[in-house]
A = this chain, B = another copy of it.
Amino acid sequence: MRVDVPLPKAYLLLNHGPVTLVSSHAAERRNVMAASWAMPLDFDPPKVAVVIDRNTLTRELVDASGEFALNVPSRMLAATVVEVGSASGRTVDKWSRFGIGALPAARIAAPLVADCIAWLECRVLAERPTEQRYDLFVAEVVAASADDRVFSAGRWHFGDEALRSLHYVAGGQFFATGEALAVGATA
């Protein structure tokens, strides 16, 4: 079940470096693309940094709306992550083309990607020089939610192999999020 994540815990949804799907919407158009280059930038209020290439439809929609969502896919969506990179949203609606489900977001107009395991709804904090020079966007997380089968009470618990998050390599290759380990500081 999708449940709200308190904003000060939202960074935990990205802290381990999973691949994300960026969903966006503006002027009756919507899109979704894959992004490995996304990370937390602050705890509270939570912020993120993400690279959105200037040649993408996503960039156009984010520039127009000032909003996007970062969706964290599980292993079950690995093929979708690759597929959304194989077509341009300018020529097809990727949601229809690849059978991607859309969920309404709580605080932004962009749809969320169904069957993901975590969602961060973001509003762009305009930083034009770094957007223009590096395609680097800074945004505030205004709502966050997660699938409580794998994230609850402020922590990930990947019991089900199929629901593990993914770390993207290149060329359709991923690593699944692996074994949990804990160490205490010995200092």
Contact = CB atoms under 8 A, between A and B. Distances in A.
Interface in A36-84: 36-42, 47, 49, 51, 75, 78-79, 81-83
A109 interface: no
Contacts of A129: 127, 129-130
Given A41-B136, A173-B182, A87 B167 contact: no
Contacts of A12: 169-170
Nearest to A167: B16
A39 B37 contact: yes
A37 B138 CA distance: 13
Give the secondary structure class of A's interface: mixed
Contacts of A85: 185
A17 B41 contact: no
A174 interface: yes
A18 interface: yes
A146 to B, nearest CB: 14
A26 B98 CA distance: 52
Interface string A162-180: 0010011111111111111
22 contacts: A15-B36, A15-B170, A16-B168, A16-B169, A37-B40, A38-B39, A39-B49, A41-B51, A49-B49, A82-B185, A85-B185, A86-B185, A127-B129, A129-B130, A155-B169, A156-B169, A172-B182, A172-B183, A172-B184, A173-B181, A174-B180, A178-B179
Interface of A: 12, 15-19, 36-42, 47, 49, 51, 75, 78-79, 81-83, 85-87, 97-98, 127, 129-130, 133-134, 136, 138, 155-156, 158, 164, 167-187
